[in-house]
Structure 1
Amino acid sequence: MNPIAFRLGPIQLYWYGIILSVAALIGLIVVIQEGKRYQIHPGFFLDMVLVGVPSAIVGARAYYVVFKWEDYRNNFWDVFKIWNGGIAIYGALIGAIMAMIFFFRLRGYNFWRIADLCAPGLIIGQLIGRWGNFINQEAHGGPVSEDFLRTTLHLPNFIVNQMNIEGVYYHPTFLYESIWNFVGLLLLLWLRRQPFLRSGELFLTYFTWYSIGRFFIEGLRTDSLAWYASNWLAALMKLLWSPMGLLFHEGEMSYGTVRVSQLLSVLIVLIAISLIANRRFRKHQERYADPIASNRP
């Protein structure tokens, strides 16, 4: 499949960019619709995107460069050549969240209340955006047989054929993550209408759900950002991933002993659960369904 959708003279438009744009647009529409239930003007969310998207891009690139610094230390200007590839979802989330903490405060909103509204939109963006990796034949897992894709997974021809890269078939990890996120979306849509849900818990549930899936799926990939960690930490990561090993072979890493995304996933799950428990223990009473108001005129 040609990654270039079409050309306009010297300008090339890639499917990857189109898919990410559509993913962001659909996610934004979902957030705006939920915001209307709380009388939040759509313009607020448009401003949020104008701040959040650039911050996410910077974070995604910075995250990648930090863990691949050996590739850039002697070619510093390549850091800015983002069109050559090299971004990371976790970096994008970190960059966007840091920007939103200040943006929401500037607009007079509680961070957790708006973050809750954004959670379904974020996971929608991720479940659609992964199909950009499918077009580019990237972010896949280790080698598998054609029979595994056709007979075991019952995948349609267009996916099987795209997973054939130079005569070798690979795990469609993009699909695994997309499906995982779709189930997560259904969970979030159900949770947000439950009377027991308190503020901040939908956003933290989103992060927990995504991180659990990312931890196990990341272990199948062969292009993970990694680093050389202590033996005990590497052994712990392998132990936590071992249930997945009953069904699949772990993808081989080209370097390092611990995948960065796996370690970060574990930390995020622990932090998110701790925050939920702490807020419950402190009897934080504000619920998701409560009105949202800015303290700024």
Structure 2
Amino acid sequence: MNQIAFFWGSISIYWSSIFFALAIIGSVFASLQIRAIQNKTPNAVLLTALISIPLSLLFSRLVYWYCSFEQYRGILDALTSFGEGGHSLVGAAIGLFLATVIVWRLNMVSSLMQLWDCVLPGSMIGIAIGRLSGFFSADDKGKIMFDNPSLQRLPFAVEIVNEATGTSDWRLATFLFESVAALIVFFVCHYIIRSFHQTNLGKEKVICSLPDGSVAMICLSFFGSLQVVLESTRYDSLFLRTNGFISLMQMVCLALVLTSIIFFSYHSIKINGGVDRKHIFTWLLCVILIGQSAYVEYYVQRHANEYFICYTVMSIAMISVSLLIIQLCCSCSTRSEK
């Protein structure tokens, strides 16, 4: 597969660069659309985009260099040789987070959480587009290989050719599943935003509201739950230098899921006047399901031939956690008649 789209004079234009540019444009437009639903001006979103682009590029390369330092002569090489190596989504997220904080500190928005409600779902469109660059590189493919000719096609698998030997393998098209997952997360968040922004019940207009940051937390919890499973399938995951068992992305995604549980639990307890049996039951179920996923992750790394049942169980468990978080979210909603 040719990673270079075309040449502009002496400059090589890579497919990954084209998809990253389209991802940025898609993220901005999606965020602006959500901002319009919030009845807010677009200035904060546009400034966030301008600030986040260089920051995300910088940190995505820094994190990638930290996890794959052996590919470079040094940190300066990682920050200047963009034709080599890759980018870390974790680093890009750090850049976006810092950009939103800067915009908030500049008093462009009254609520940082409200800005997150806008830009985080929008970023899912960017991820969905950016993942498609996997069509033109060997990155973001699965450890699972397909020998059955009927499965050696999209959307199941893509062909990876070893440039040294000329042999090819059909590997799981992880990047495509990740793209679809991000798109699903965006539409879930978009539905929630529209549903809770304003509804009409009979002749009475009822405003259904959630605490600022709720949509962002739903976005992070769904993305984290799905990505934990998909990341497990990848053969090129990034790991911390001190850890070779759980990938960096899996650790971050688990942290996002736990943060969402804490966020909604806090607001639910505050709104409903204390802890009740539903809270305890939800927490216990989340602990059991996350623990089950952790065990399956440990198991599948030692029994790769049982990947289908393992990833099925893991997917059901993590999606169930997301649905439990949705239930916590609904317990935080308030209505005021107008």
User: What range is the shorter-chain TM-score in?
Assistant: 0.7 to 0.9
Say which SS state the counterpart of residue 187 (structure 2) adopts.
helix
SS at match of 1:192: helix
Task: Render the CA deviation track for 1:170-214: whole Å, top value 9, x for unaligned.
Answer: 111101111212221221111112225332011111111111111
Tell me what 2:266 maps to.
Answer: 278
Corresponding residue for residue 77 of structure 2: 78
Q: 1:288 to 1:228 in 2, by over 3 A?
A: farther
The alpha carbon displacement at 1:216 in A equals 0.7
Identify the range of structure 1 (136-145 vs 40-49) with the bigger mean alpha-carbon deviation.
40-49
SS at the partner of 1:225? coil
Instruction: Output aligned runs, 1:1-297, within 5 Å.
Output: 1-69=1-69, 75-83=74-82, 84-109=84-109, 110-147=111-148, 151-152=150-151, 155=154, 160=157, 162-166=158-162, 167-193=168-194, 194=196, 195-227=208-240, 256-283=244-271
Alignment-derived partner of residue 200 in structure 2: none
Post-superposition Cα deviations, 1:10-57, rounded to whole Å, max 9, x if no partner, equal 122222111111121122112212323444333432222110111111
Distance 2:58 2:332 in 1: 33
Amino acid aligned to 1:179: V
Further displaced range: 3-12 or 200-209: 3-12
TM-score using structure 1 length: 0.77
- How far has the Cα of 1:81 moved from its partner? 2.7
- Distance of 1:121 and 1:64 partners within structure 2: 23
SS of the aligned residue for 1:54 comes to helix
The answer (yes or no) to whether the contact 1:229–1:257 under 8 Å persists in 2 is: no
Secondary structure of 1:144's aligned partner: coil
Q: In the alignment, residue 125 of structure 1 is paired with which amino acid?
A: G
Inter-partner Cα distance in structure 1 for 2:252 and 2:14: 30
Deviation of the 1:280 alpha carbon: 3.0
Cα distance in 2 for partners of 1:23, 1:75 equals: 28
3-state SS in 2 of match to 1:34:
helix
Partner AA of 2:89 in structure 1: I
Structure-2 change in CA distance of 1:228 and 1:54 (3 Å): closer
Q: After superposition, what is the alpha-carbon deviation per residue over 1:235-285, rounded to whole angstroms, capped at 9, x for unaligned?
A: xxxxxxxxxxxxxxxxxxxxx233222122212211121112213323399
AA in 2 matched with 1:206: C
Higher relative contact order (CA 8 A, sep 6+): 1
CA contact (8 A) 1:113 1:288 kept: no
Q: What is the aligned length?
A: 259
Runs of 4+ with >6 A deviation: 284-290
5+ unaligned residues in a row in structure 1: which ranges? 231-255, 291-297
| Equivalent position amino acid for 1:209 in 2 | F
Counterpart of 2:170, as a letter, is Y
Question: For the pair shown, which has the larger CA radius of gyration, 1 or 2?
Answer: 2
Identity %: 23
1:257–1:33 Cα change, 3 Å:
closer
**Residue-by-residue CA offset, 1:62-89 (whole Å, 9 max, x unaligned):** 22222334555x6343232350223210
Q: Please report the RMSD computed on the Cα atoms of aligned residues, expressed in angstroms.
A: 2.9
Whole-Å separation in 2 of the counterparts to 1:46 and 1:33: 12
Distance 2:51 2:11 in 1: 26
Q: For residue 127 of structure 1, report the CA deviation from its aligned partner.
A: 0.9
Alignment-mate amino acid for residue 11 of structure 1: I
Cα shift readout 1:69-116 (whole Å, capped 9, x = no counterpart):
4555x6343232350223210111122102311222213411111110
Q: State whether residues 143 and 168 of structure 1, in contact with CA within 8 Å, keep that contact through their aligned partners in structure 2.
A: no
Instruction: Return the alpha-carbon distance in structure 1 between the equivalents of residues 262 and 60 of structure 2.
Output: 26
Q: In the alignment, residue 221 of structure 1 is paired with which amino acid?
A: R
**Cα drift, residue 121 of structure 1:** 1.1
2-structure distance, mates of 1:289, 1:114: 22
Shift in CA distance, 286/278, structure 1 to aligned 2, threshold 3 Å:
closer
SS in 1 for 2:210: coil
Q: CA deviation at 1:288?
A: 11
